[in-house]
């Protein structure tokens, strides 16, 4: 028998007066579709798949099964797939390590410790978001060192960026490369004790940045309370940012061009959702659909923010990554790592830029 997911238990317990689901209550017809599809699909392995709209079937097959591939960690985050050796890298945010997993070799340790300096005033010290650059080198958001670094082929680390206009970054959280090699990243205050009140803090905002290939660092957004997960539309013309603030649980969308980010608008607001979990990591598939961790699991949304359904592993997911041939969604979720094979593809990081 498939164990009920964590979000269903939370709803049953009546944590809040409103029901589980998306930020907007579904119409009765949507509820019927979800119920019928769930009954038809049967068990889905290490979790459940909630189907709110029949369009989900074209992305997440009706027979999709969630699989747990690794376990025993403290808090997993920031997964990134290395296509050259079919290996998943992921952070343990509270375990001060970067781990790896492959079908052939199973789990292993890539980097430990991540941080070995003075911890005074720091709340988190490990890596969070990971990706690979055009040379297939691992690029890491480091909380403790308050920087983005690159793991070189010889095992050394080099600094990609650590300051803006002479002031140290807060604690870079998540990142994504654009088609032209620009690096987009978020910089909330989670790594510092007291966050905005920390005496270590040098910036008076929590920013979203673009680092150009020539080294120019541009501030794109400065008015989000907790910018976290970040992704780009397939054409690179829309920037998506998750806001992981319990008082403002939203995904933002921005028009993106050479001059910067503009026309910021709320793609979806789940502030009133009863299920636990703030918007966090996200990825976009080749058709522009978002796979975004948030209340209830991994929400699957259209480019317009319509909620089609939710992939809910047995533990609450914090981030996701495309893996395999681009059609496998890996999910870092609390103490474990999960995956599910989809009917859609996403862009793999590293030197292979096209879909």
Q: Where are the domains of the chain?
A: 6-341
Query: φ and ψ at 257, to 5 degrees?
Result: -150, -170
Dist CA 300 CA 290 (whole Å) = 6
Question: Would you state the CATH architecture of domain 6-341?
Answer: 6 Propeller (2.120)
Sequence-ordered list of residues with C-beta below 8 angstroms from that of 258, at least 6 positions apart, any chain: none
pLDDT of residue 77: 98
Would you place residue 44 in the very low, low, confident or very high pLDDT band (cuts 50, 70, 90)? confident
Q: How does DSSP classify residue 26?
A: P
| Percent of the chain topping pLDDT 90 | 86
Segment (H or E) for 156: none
- Asked if pLDDT for residue 43 goes beyond 90, the answer is no
Query: What average pLDDT is seen over the chain?
Result: 89
Sequence-ordered list of residues with C-beta below 8 angstroms from that of 172, at least 6 positions apart, any chain: 128, 129, 141, 142, 143, 146, 147, 148, 161, 185, 186, 187
């Amino acid at each position: 028998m498939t164990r009920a997911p964590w979000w269903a238990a939370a709803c049953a317990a009546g944590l809040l007066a409103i029901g589980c689901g998306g930020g907007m209550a579904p119409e009765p017809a949507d509820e019927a579709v979800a119920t019928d599809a769930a009954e038809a699909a049967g068990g889905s392995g290490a979790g459940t798949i909630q189907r709110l709209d029949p369009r989900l079937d074209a992305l997440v097959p009706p027979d999709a099964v969630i699989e747990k591939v690794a376990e025993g960690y403290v808090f997993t985050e920031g997964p990134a797939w290395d296509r050259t050796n079919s290996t998943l890298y992921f952070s343990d945010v509270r375990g001060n390590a970067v781990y790896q997993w492959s079908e052939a070799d199973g789990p292993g340790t890539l980097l430990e410790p991540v941080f070995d300096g003075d911890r005074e005033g720091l709340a988190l010290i490990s890596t969070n978001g990971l990706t690979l650059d055009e040379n297939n080198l691992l690029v890491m958001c480091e909380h403790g060192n308050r920087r983005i670094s690159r793991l070189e082929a010889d095992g050394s680390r080099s600094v990609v960026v650590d300051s803006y206009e002479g002031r140290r970054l807060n604690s870079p959280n998540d990142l994504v490369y654009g088609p032209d090699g620009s690096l987009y990243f978020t910089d909330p205050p989670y790594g510092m004790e007291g966050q905005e009140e920390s005496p270590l803090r040098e910036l008076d905002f929590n920013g979203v940045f673009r680092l150009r290939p020539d080294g120019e660092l541009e501030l794109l957004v400065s008015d989000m309370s907790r910018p976290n997960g970040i992704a780009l539309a397939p054409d690179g013309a829309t920037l998506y940012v998750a806001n992981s603030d319990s008082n403002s649980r939203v995904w933002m969308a921005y028009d993106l061009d050479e001059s910067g980010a503009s026309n910021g608008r709320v793609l979806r607001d789940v502030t009133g959702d009863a299920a636990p979990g703030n918007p966090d990591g996200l990825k976009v598939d080749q058709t522009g659909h978002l796979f975004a961790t948030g209340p209830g699991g991994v929400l699957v949304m259209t480019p317009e923010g319509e909620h089609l359904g939710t992939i809910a592993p047995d533990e609450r997911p914090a981030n996701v990554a495309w893996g395999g041939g681009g059609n496998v969604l890996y999910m870092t979720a609390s103490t474990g790592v999960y995956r599910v094979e989809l009917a859609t593809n996403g862009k793999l990081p590293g030197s292979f830029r096209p879909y």
